Amino acid sequence: MTACRGAYCTGFLWLLGTNTFALLIPWLLKLAIDSLEMPGISGHGPAWYAALIMVAALLQGVIRIFSRTTLLNAGRRIEYMIREDLYAKLLELDLPFFSRERTGDIMSRLANDLTNVRMLLGFGMLNVINTAIVYLAALSLMGHISVQLTLFAIIPFPLTIFVVKRMSATMFRRSQIVQEELSRLTSKVEENVSAATVIKSYCREYAETAAFASISSSYLESNMAMARVRGAMIPIMAASGAMGTLIVLFVGGSRVIAGELTLGDFVAFNGYLAMLVWPTLMLAWILNLMQRGAASMSRLNQVLEAKASVREPSQPEETNIGGTIEIRDLSFAYGSSPILSQISLTITKGMRLGIVGPIGSGKSSLVRLIPRLYPVADGHIFLDGVDINRISLGTLRHAIGFVPQESFLFSRTIGDNIAYGMAGATGEDIRNSARMSGIAPDIERFADGYDTLVGERGVTLSGGQKQRAAIARALLKNPSILILDDPLSAVDARTEEDILANLAAYYGERTVIIVSHRLSALRDCTMIVVMDEGRIVEQGSHEELLVLQGRYAAIHREQQLRREIEGY
């Protein structure tokens, strides 16, 4: 920011220079006219002053280039810094923030709101500084020529300022509405582009077009409402300049006729008054820009000032995570909706824990709390006897390989996606992880192999291929704790058998937690817990749970029957 302050100071000096030469031109014109009326007094003729006017105009134009470049570049640099801060902030924020905010709204802030702020800090600041210099200097020179005539010239200004001040408050409110409507529009486009397959599958093109038209119409109305205010503001500013000019022509002309004012003074006075017309018109535009920029900056500040609920511990405890997990009387809720209730569980190092239960029973929520993807109160989850809230997030998450339900792939090569979680991974490491996850044969059939681009969100891969790529990414980390949240839901039974066999050889001394609807994925687990409505209702080995003849046994019978029917 120090460099930007220096740029504004330099830009101020350049503007001071360009306006000095601009203000010099009417004065030279005055001297030229006076030399015509009173030859020989000044010692120079009109040609001399004409040459000086040409030099002043040339220097003004050259210096203006530097002033505009300096200040506009300062706005660009600040835009760059704010964008960097915004992106860094977004990466600091946690899942609760992103579950509240719309993706399109965040993108709108990074694009449209940031552009408005850049315009304010670049072109807006240039005109603010320029207007201030011109007004102060021109009014001083006008006062030097005739104080009384200057007072007549500025008579309309107080009323104009009052009206514009009232209108600018309305402009600020309407600018905020416009930005919110634009966010809705962006969110709708982002959502529909992402859901293009669903929209076409259900023939919802016309319905979505109508919904978009409604939002677009609302955005248009908001812009038109703001344009009406802006459109009224500019004529008011222009009218004040015109009224001042009329007053000066009437009063000043009378004084020239009466001999109280020289013709040169009158021409110079009108020249300075004319110089105020453009800054006065620009003042309305600047006010509009300021209101838009202020509204946009307030939206950006909502992101910059957002606080992550999952934070680094103030004094992190150094620990080597071995893999023992202890959960003590854990309850959790998303906002006011309770998800988990009084969960207690001990998972020793090297144990393979299976979690099963109906949809919405809290399985995924439970495993997301272990790497602190959501905030956890102190004293409920411990790794090797240390509260996870006292372990740095980097240490904690580096020791955990997490495969979520929805496998996300970046718009890069499949090799880059597998290597994403491990900097410096070699090609052999990537291939080994791909073999263990069962995706290596599929990759080898691709024309470009591991250099195959997977498209946005892995669109060129099937659901099963995306899941296996995500598993390979987690395996490459070589974590102490491996969490697989329903990772094989999109693969067939035979592929599942192959993947489970490969993973069994990989597990070793690692602690493994598998969430699955298929009991076949849990067959090698040391212990299995059954969840329902946020509670653990059964736990034990596969054989022990079958003997209980409870919910696990019922799920087992149902899945066995389904396999028999499918096999028949």
312, 393 in Cβ contact below 8 A?
yes
Q: What is the pLDDT of residue 520?
A: 82
Q: What is the pLDDT of residue 219?
A: 85
| Segment holding 484, helix H or strand E | strand 481-485
Three-class SS of residue 15? helix
Task: Find the radius of gyration of the CA atoms of the chain.
Answer: 36
**Is the C-alpha dihedral spanning 389, 393, 395, 401 positive or negative?**
positive
Q: How confident is the model at residue 328 (pLDDT cuts 50, 70, 90)?
A: very high
Q: What is the pLDDT of residue 197?
A: 64
Lookup result for tokens 């495993």: 367
**Is the C-alpha dihedral spanning 207, 211, 212, 216 positive or negative?**
positive
Residue 550 CA, distance from chain mean position: 49
Q: What is the pLDDT of residue 343?
A: 92
| Mean per-residue pLDDT, 93-122 | 83
Q: How confident is the model at residue 319 (pLDDT cuts 50, 70, 90)?
A: confident
Residue 524 CA, distance from chain mean position: 44
Taking alpha carbons only, the member of 432, 335, 344, 435 closest to residue 375 is 335
Q: How confident is the model at residue 568 (pLDDT cuts 50, 70, 90)?
A: very low
Is the pLDDT score of 189 beyond 90? no
Residue 504 CA, distance from chain mean position: 42
CA gap 81, 75 in Å, rounded: 10
Range name among 47-51, 76-80, 286-290, 429-433 with the lowest pLDDT average: 286-290
Which CA distances in Å does 315 have to 238, 311, 337?
Answer: 62, 12, 32
Three-class SS of residue 240? helix
More confident residue, 490 or 429: 429
Is the pLDDT score of 529 beyond 90? yes
More confident residue, 370 or 564: 370
Is the pLDDT score of 491 beyond 80? no
| Mean per-residue pLDDT, 21-45 | 75
CA gap 343, 366 in Å, rounded: 9
Phi, psi of 387 (to 5 degrees): -60, 130
Is the pLDDT score of 86 beyond 60? yes
Is the pLDDT score of 322 beyond 70? yes
Six-digit token pair at 151? 């007072």
Q: What is the pLDDT of residue 405?
A: 81
Which CA distances in Å does 27 have to 50, 274, 524?
Answer: 12, 13, 95
Start-to-end Cα distance in the chain: 73
Six-digit token pair at 307? 């606080």
Three-class SS of residue 398? helix
- Tens-place pLDDT, residues 224-238: 888 887 777 767 766
Range name among 121-130, 168-177, 204-213, 443-452 with the lowest pLDDT average: 168-177
CA gap 269, 282 in Å, rounded: 21
CA gap 64, 75 in Å, rounded: 17
Q: What is the pLDDT of residue 113?
A: 85
Beta bridge mates, 383: 325, 386
CA gap 443, 520 in Å, rounded: 26
pTM: 0.73
Average pLDDT for the chain: 83
Q: What is the pLDDT of residue 100?
A: 81
CA gap 15, 426 in Å, rounded: 56
Three-class SS of residue 40? coil
In order of their start, the domains of the chain are 2-304 (1.20.1560.10), 325-567 (3.40.50.300)
| Segment holding 353, helix H or strand E | strand 352-356
More confident residue, 162 or 306: 306
What are the strands of the beta sheet with 386-387, ordered from one edge? 337-347, 325-334, 381-383, 386-387
Is the pLDDT score of 484 beyond 50? yes
- Tens-place pLDDT, residues 2-16: 667 788 888 889 888
CA gap 360, 363 in Å, rounded: 8
CA gap 259, 255 in Å, rounded: 6
Lookup result for tokens 């090609």: 427
> What SS3 string covers 493-539?
HHHHHHHHHHHHHHHCCCEEEEECCCHHHHCCCCEEEEEECCEEEEE
| Mean per-residue pLDDT, 157-163 | 71
Range name among 260-274, 467-481, 489-503, 534-548 with the lowest pLDDT average: 489-503
**How many C-beta atoms surround the C-beta of residue 231 within 10 A?**
11
376, 391 in Cβ contact below 8 A?
no
CA gap 412, 458 in Å, rounded: 9
CA gap 308, 91 in Å, rounded: 10
| Percentage of the chain lying above the pLDDT 70 cut | 94
Is the pLDDT score of 241 beyond 70? no
CA gap 17, 9 in Å, rounded: 13
CA gap 350, 526 in Å, rounded: 9
More confident residue, 162 or 387: 387
More confident residue, 528 or 562: 528
CA gap 491, 251 in Å, rounded: 90
Taking CA 326 as the corner, what is the angle to CA 322 and CA 329, rounded to the nearest 5 degrees? 165
